[in-house]
Amino acid sequence: MSSQPMRVFVMENDPQVLKGLALLLEGMCLTVVTAVGIDDLKRLNIPNTERPALLLLPLEGAHGISGIELVKQIRSGYEYPIPAILLRYEHALRPDRFIDTNIFVLSNCLAPNELRRVITNILGNEMTAGYDVES
């Protein structure tokens, strides 16, 4: 198990939703790097040596860039693909035709316990000890 908490990149256009997601992830003992929108995400300039364990982005993206395209752009700087969760609004197109390896599309209305369960499943045994996911 890693001695440092795992890093998760979270981008959301709504600052209140972003704050809620960050609190949920921090409660899972994860290090959270947040960005309000695409421009903020691009300004982060995270070094390649600080590869995130997970990306959490909106499926719809912004400024004509989809969440799928954002994942591809972020992943391009790393040797191995980074798992990603894309949150979608209920009225969005069915995502199954957009999914590639290690991209999971979930409803943004997902209950916090369900989101925790999915994140724990994606990150596997790398999760920090002490966090218990309800069955």
Bridge partners (DSSP) of residue 32 are 8
Average pLDDT over residues 128-133: 39
Q: What is the pLDDT of residues 1-12, one digit of tens each?
A: 445 679 999 998
- The structure's pTM equals 0.79
pLDDT above 90 (res 109): no
- In contact, 123 and 24? CB cutoff 8 Å: no
Domains of the chain, CATH where assigned:
7-108 (3.40.50.2300)
CA trace torsion 109, 113, 118, 119 (10° rounding): 110
pLDDT above 90 (res 56): yes
- The number of residues making up the chain comes to 135
Rg over CA atoms, the chain: 14
Q: How far is CA 15 from the centre of its chain?
A: 15
Q: What is the pLDDT of residues 1-54, one digit of tens each?
A: 445 679 999 998 889 989 999 999 999 999 999 988 877 877 776 666 678 899
Cβ neighbours of residue 38 closer than 8 Å, sequence gap 6 or more: 11, 61, 62, 63, 65, 70
